[in-house]
Structure 1
Amino acid sequence: MTVFHEVRFPFSVSVGASGGPERRTDIVPLVSGREQRNTSWADSRRRYDVGPGVRSLTDIHTLIGFFEARRGPLHGFRFRDPFDNRSAAPDQAPDPADQLIGTGDGAVTQFQLVKHYESGGELWTRTITKPVEGSVRVAVEGVETFDFTLDTANGRVTLADPPASGQAVTAGFAFDVPVRFASERLDLALDEPGAASALSIPLIEIRV
């Protein structure tokens, strides 16, 4: 049975990782030289390569243990994206006013964590399903509240009392990306006594 393991990929091995978001776009060239473009994905998906983080036999030991415990690509796990892992800018701490996650209607108490990406008047909203425990801060109409519970397995915030109609519910948080190993094998090399490397260890984002 496939399950998601609520554990984070070892940070010591992830230092030096590369990767980022990808999109799927179908491009059809026309006789006129113009193009027709259509996206088959509503959301982006992230890919990473953590191979560059392997530098020692200690890293190899840690990596093999993690890979085997996940049964290779069978079970998903958490990964800290080195480039995009919080509701604020990379050099700023999460603030409860960072992201709008909903608007009160006097009845609803549960809100999904999201992150908004905006540029040139265009907006894309990303669902955040793996917040980091202890990092989430919530505000209702600009006033921080501590009367809420958080489900770290799906990123849902439940307030003790429903916000009044029209009140903005905002949140700040750090988050991980749900991923799995994208290969069924680890290609490792012993470069010299005490030193090791891995050409590539691909990870791919999964939906949970």
Structure 2
Amino acid sequence: MTFYNAKLPGSISQGSEFAPVSLVDIARGPTGHDQRRSRRSRRLRRCNIGKNIRTVDDVYDILSFFEVMDGPAHSFAIQNLIDYKTCKPSGTVTALDAAIGIGDGVNLAFQLKKQYKVTKVDASVIAVDRTIYLPVLGTVLVAVDGVLKTEAVDYIIDYATGALTFIAGHEPADTKAVTAGFAFNEKVRFDTNDLGHVMEFFRVGSVPSIPLVEVPFDA
């Protein structure tokens, strides 16, 4: 169905529940050893933001959004305040946060990514890429070989796909690292066909459960 690049009204704040979900099949053999096979190349997130709803106006805004999205039929954007930028939540985004490619003197097109990293006991680093499709306008910083570049002069960003395209004549030179930092949203849909709501008392209402699930970008 349709993706609407509109953010769910209200804030994703204290009390929100988020969970990255993997699909791993685990079979245990007679010796006790596990055989594990992932059925998905990336984790998709689930969340529940029902605890954010405090007033009847909040309830009305959510119900209006639910109506427009036809329940789970259409997808939209949210921001997970625990994981919404290329650095830690308390950090400041820099152009060196994430490696997104290596120049070859010809290629103009790159895709925005974020890395999750674990340092092993031997000090080597394991990094996993997450493709980012919905960078936040005005937050993207890009560098080539550590030198900060200028949007609309050196490159352009498609804020609906996360595609970074260097302008002809500004393509990264051979072996030069292309890095970026930015804030981003996630593409989700409602994970329910009904949205029960409660009138608590004067001007106070609640929606006990608002389950959302991240969807693949091409879905």
Report the TM-score range of the alignment, normalised by the length of the smaller protein.
over 0.9
Matches of 1:51 and 1:191, distance apart in 2: 14
Would you say the 8 A contact 1:55–1:197 is kept in 2? yes
Matches of 1:36 and 1:170, distance apart in 2: 36
Would you say the 8 A contact 1:17–1:82 is kept in 2? no
Would you say the 8 A contact 1:26–1:38 is kept in 2? yes
* TM-score normalized with structure 2 length: 0.90
Match of 1:122 in 2: 126
- Using the TM superposition, give the Cα deviation of residue 188 of structure 1 relative to its aligned residue in structure 2, in angstroms: 0.9
State yes or no: 1:137 paired with 2:144.
no
- Using the TM superposition, give the Cα deviation of residue 92 of structure 1 relative to its aligned residue in structure 2, in angstroms: 1.6
- Using the TM superposition, give the Cα deviation of residue 69 of structure 1 relative to its aligned residue in structure 2, in angstroms: 1.4
1:46-125 equivalences in 2 (<5 Å): 46-119=45-118, 120=120, 121-125=125-129
Matches of 1:205 and 1:153, distance apart in 2: 16
Q: Given residue 128 of structure 2, which amino acid in structure 1 is its aligned partner?
A: W
Gaps of 5+ in 1: none
What is the count of residue pairs matched by the alignment? 206
Deviation readout 1:71-99 (Å, 9 max, x if unpaired): 11111111101210001111122111111
Gaps of 5+ in 2: none
Matches of 2:138 and 2:127, distance apart in 1: 28
Q: Given residue 171 of structure 1, which amino acid in structure 2 is its aligned partner?
A: A
**Percent of counterpart pairs with the same letter?**
35
Matches of 2:213 and 2:9, distance apart in 1: 16
Match of 1:178 in 2: 187
Match of 1:11 in 2: 10
* TM-score normalized with structure 1 length: 0.95
